[in-house]
Amino acid sequence: MATTVVFADLVGSTGIFERLGDATASRFVTQLTSALSKTFEQHRGRVVKLLGDGLFVVFPGEGDALAACVSIQKRLQEKPVYPGGHGAPVQMQMGVECGEVVEIDGDCFGDAVNSAARLSDLAGAEQILTSQRVRDALAPLQQAQLRSIGPMYLRGKAEATEVFRVDWQVDRDADATIMGASMLKAARDMFLEISAAGQTLRLDPRGDKLTLGRATTASLSLNDSRVSRVHATLEWRGGQFVLNDASSFGTWVYVGNQTEPVVLRRTECYLVGSGQIALGCERDAESAPLVMFSVRA
């Protein structure tokens, strides 16, 4: 039957267990997932099972699933939860997909289940990622909340999936317009951190464009023959961090735990979550010039 699947995972759970100890952290995570379960159920969701530091939930419709995810993210932003009463607040990453699901003894299986899990893995802190299939099934008001971050290769899938980020924390930005329509901006500013060859740089929203290349004048310089003098640029545009390839040999982008890269040849892509950028070759090539990236809130 057609079902909408949500995977919601706690960000940084390993650090919570290390800081609080197994017993205290287990109690905290259990209390958190129980509270989140109630919110999902209020939106007609059924919790299939708890995943240690997350939840696997199914819904009869895409709109309910998206509304539940947004409700939880807003709740955690408006009323932060602190593990052990101090430190960084809890953050969730979520993936939403729909499709045919087979139910056996209360558990659920199918391509939509696998894709939702991959989307959750791909998401960064406080992010909800979903697919073209879910977007097409949503009402126009919810569709307007989605912003494409381009095609991604989800682990286990041969073809690229058009991935969308849910803009759930937004204000109107009267200063930025595209074709007369107001753009949306995150209520909390994100930043992009890149590092390579002992160098670390940060790009803030509306900060100056960064360049990657072999030239000594590049923002991040890598001395390798496979790297063009000005190989690629990084900039904030339209509420996203954009990587633009300007090289002779191309740029390979590996997002999250994906093994299949997005290959750029005088093209561009959005950066989301964290991963690696290989300049001029695949990352498995000998001594490949690699740049690590991470989008953070």
- Residue 136's pLDDT band (cuts 50, 70, 90): very high
Q: How far is CA 129 from CA 7, 98, 198, in A?
A: 10, 12, 32
Which candidate, 196, 275, 277, 197, places its Cα nearest to that of 234?
277
Write the single-letter amino acid at 8: A
Joined tokens for residue 161: 């999936």
Q: What percent of the chain has pLDDT over 90?
A: 47
pLDDT at 184: 35
How far is 127 from 296, CA to CA, in rounded Å? 11
Instruction: Report pLDDT digits (tens) over 30-68.
Output: 888 999 999 999 999 999 998 878 899 999 999 999 999
Domain annotation for the chain: domains and CATH numbers: 2-168 (3.30.70.1230), 191-296 (2.60.200.20)
Joined tokens for residue 253: 């982008």
**By the 8 A CB rule, do 203 and 241 touch?**
yes
Q: How far is CA 240 from CA 5, 178, 188, in A?
A: 26, 14, 13
Partnered with residue 199 across adjacent β-strands are 196
Joined tokens for residue 158: 């041969």
Q: Which residue has the higher pLDDT, 284 or 2?
A: 284
pLDDT at 286: 94
DSSP code of 89?
P
- Residue 177's pLDDT band (cuts 50, 70, 90): very low
Question: Token pair 């259990």 is at which residue?
Answer: 30
How far is 130 from 151, CA to CA, in rounded Å? 12
**By the 8 A CB rule, do 162 and 130 touch?**
no
**Whole-structure pTM over 0.75, yes or no?**
no
Instruction: Report pLDDT digits (tens) over 186-223.
Output: 434 689 999 998 999 999 988 899 999 999 999 999 99
Alpha helices in the chain (DSSP H): 13-20, 22-42, 62-78, 111-122, 132-137, 140-143
How far is 117 from 284, CA to CA, in rounded Å? 25
Residue 43 makes CB contacts below 8 A (sequence gap 6+) with: 59, 64, 65, 67, 68, 71
How far is 16 from 43, CA to CA, in rounded Å? 29
